[in-house]
A and B are shown apart, each in its own frame.
Chain A
Amino acid sequence: MPDGLSDPSHTARQEWMALLAQASREEMEEAWRLMLPNPPYAILRKAETGLAMVRGRAGGTGNPFNLGEMTMTRCAVRLEAEPRVVGLSYIAGRDPRRAELAALFDALLQTPQLSADVKRTLLTPIRRRLDETRRVRAAESAATRVDFFTLVREQGVE
């Protein structure tokens, strides 16, 4: 589970939006294909690509400063059948289709009828993939853990 989400104040929606932000286009297209018949939707705000300024903190813990920007894309859709829920996406990168699909799944996850399906066909596989990548990285790094020995001068030597 992404870090920011271990915060107890987070909502289920924050959690799935974080997962959708890290979903590949293929993962979402595949889940969309599995969802037949596809629920109709309208685009409220066309996918728009721009920049997010990424901030750091002086010394890692102090006052914020602007580190540099990253590309991001946002999109808004509305389901055209009841419930006419609005879905939003804010995701890293420049792929408009990915942003549209992420917004669409954000909407579907808010519907009582389809949220269980989306969780099973999309969120679970994404979470599994992210966990696996992290697990491998962590295990490979752990193998490079090192113990340095300090060579202490013999007693009597100044």
Chain B
Amino acid sequence: MAYVAVKGGEKAIDAAHRLLAKERRGDPAVPELSLDQISQQLSLSVDRVMTEGSIYDRELAALAIKQARGDLVEAIFLLRAYRATLPRLAESKPIETNRMRARRRISAIFKDVPGGQVLGGTFDYTHRLLDFTLAAPSVFPDAEIAEPSDTMPPHVLAILGDEGLIQPERRDENLQNPPDLTREPLEFPAARATRLQNLARGDEGFLLSLGYSTQRGYGRNHPFAGEIRIGEVEVVIEPEELGFPVVIGEITVTECETVNQFSGSKSEPAQFTRGYGLTFGEAERKAMAMALVDRALRATELGEDVSAPAQDEEFVLYHSDNVEASGFVQHLKLPHYVDFQSELNIVRKIRGDEQVADEALAEGILA
């Protein structure tokens, strides 16, 4: 039965929203958070909200986080809703991650990569012990400095590519406009470009669990972290009235390339295959999970059995979006009085009919 709307309750709803505003603020004796504080000191929350809210704008994401009382999925919803109010002015040229000004760049497959392994500021290798000095206003140490190399490090996977040991990415120069999920409905089988857009917007927790499931044997494809890099890239658009490409700004992105189990066939020699993850901001866990799931979803294309949830594109792509998922799960708490009343009547009727039959049986009428 379809959802039947209810009316009324305006006064109570209004009071509930006023109460929400008060609770959002918390104790007025405690200083209020500024958007700059959220953007600077909760920067990874901002990055997640930008990635899954699918708008790169630190200030908007910080505002959404503040409004949502730190509930990141609610903040993502707010950003998506705001998006609907803005016109699309341009599509960028593909960002060139090989020209990224990388602040972090690691590879788990080659110890000595050209350009070196650069950790950047990372949680890796910390002991995950609570640091009680942060409970008070903290003094942080100056960062150490060293002489940077002046060359842009090449993509690590290009080293395997040069030897023909990994599948090259298909690049069709005539393909200008990839499918866009914000304008066209999801259709199956989905193109890789559609899958990547869906995964980039997808819920980090969902993708993390799916990626984990592939490692535990549900669609195993034996991944290595070929390269992870975090840094700044330029965004270039080419407005028609201008007639030449122009840089509109710089954004931070995280990129993960996995190297996976070799596949070989009668026509193709044994070689490694790829999974790809790309996010706004610093979102390494998300980028890695995305790369694992991207690779799992390539099962059909690579002639593998589709047997695990992470390889099932309808299952993955239909359930990855936390705005849709949250909306559908949470609509259950809205008043369903009419729907439930009809269910209740059916159950009562079935039981009533049964009771009549039982009584009749007991009285020997039907015997």
Stretch at the interface among B196-204, B209-217, B311-319: B196-204
Judge if A97 is at the interface, Cβ distance under 8 Å.
no
Of the listed residues B94, B175, B278, the one surrounded by the most CB atoms of chain A closer than 10 A to its CB is B94
B356 contact set on A, CB distance < 8 A: none
Docked pose: A98 CA to B361 CA in angstroms: 85
Residue of B89, B116, B145 near A52 (CB, 8 A) is B89
Judge if A146 is at the interface, Cβ distance under 8 Å.
yes
A92 contact set on B, CB distance < 8 A: 56, 235, 248-251
Given contacts A137-B103, A140-B145, A141-B120, 15 further A-B contacts (CB under 8 A): A18-B234, A18-B247, A51-B83, A58-B170, A59-B274, A64-B175, A64-B176, A67-B253, A68-B51, A69-B88, A71-B57, A72-B89, A88-B241, A88-B242, A142-B146
Residue of A nearest to B155 (CB): A60
B276 contact set on A, CB distance < 8 A: 58-60
Interface residues on B, range: 35 or more
A148 contact set on B, CB distance < 8 A: 111, 117
A11 contact set on B, CB distance < 8 A: 244
B257 contact set on A, CB distance < 8 A: 59-60
- Chain B 175-201 interface 0/1 with A at a Cβ cutoff of 8 Å (1 = within): 110111110000000001110110011
If over half of A's interface residues share one DSSP class (helix, strand or loop), that class is named, otherwise mixed; here it is mixed
A48 contact set on B, CB distance < 8 A: 87, 89
Known: A52-B90, A53-B90. A4 touches B245 (CB 8 A): yes
Known: A18-B246, A22-B250, A90-B90. A70 touches B239 (CB 8 A): no
B103 contact set on A, CB distance < 8 A: 137-138, 140-141
If over half of B's interface residues share one DSSP class (helix, strand or loop), that class is named, otherwise mixed; here it is mixed
Residue of A nearest to B196 (CB): A65
Of the listed residues B147, B155, B235, the one surrounded by the most CB atoms of chain A closer than 10 A to its CB is B235
**A139 B178 Cβ-Cβ under 8 A:** no
Known: A4-B247, A55-B94, A137-B101. A93 touches B57 (CB 8 A): yes
When A and B form their complex, what is the total count of cross-chain residue pairs whose Cβ atoms lie within 8 Å? 248
Docked pose: A60 CA to B170 CA in angstroms: 11
Which residues of A, 107-146, contact B by the 8 Å Cβ criterion? 134, 136-146
Hey, which bits of chain B sit against chain A, CB under 8 A?
A: 50-51, 54-57, 59-60, 83, 86-99, 101-104, 111, 116-122, 143-149, 155, 157-158, 169-172, 175-176, 178-182, 192-194, 196-197, 200-201, 233-237, 239, 241-242, 244-251, 253, 255, 257, 274, 276, 278, 280
Query: 23 A–B contact pairs at CB < 8 A?
Result: A17-B247, A18-B246, A21-B246, A55-B91, A55-B95, A56-B278, A57-B171, A58-B192, A60-B157, A61-B98, A67-B278, A71-B86, A72-B248, A90-B237, A90-B246, A92-B235, A92-B248, A94-B60, A138-B101, A141-B103, A142-B147, A143-B145, A146-B116
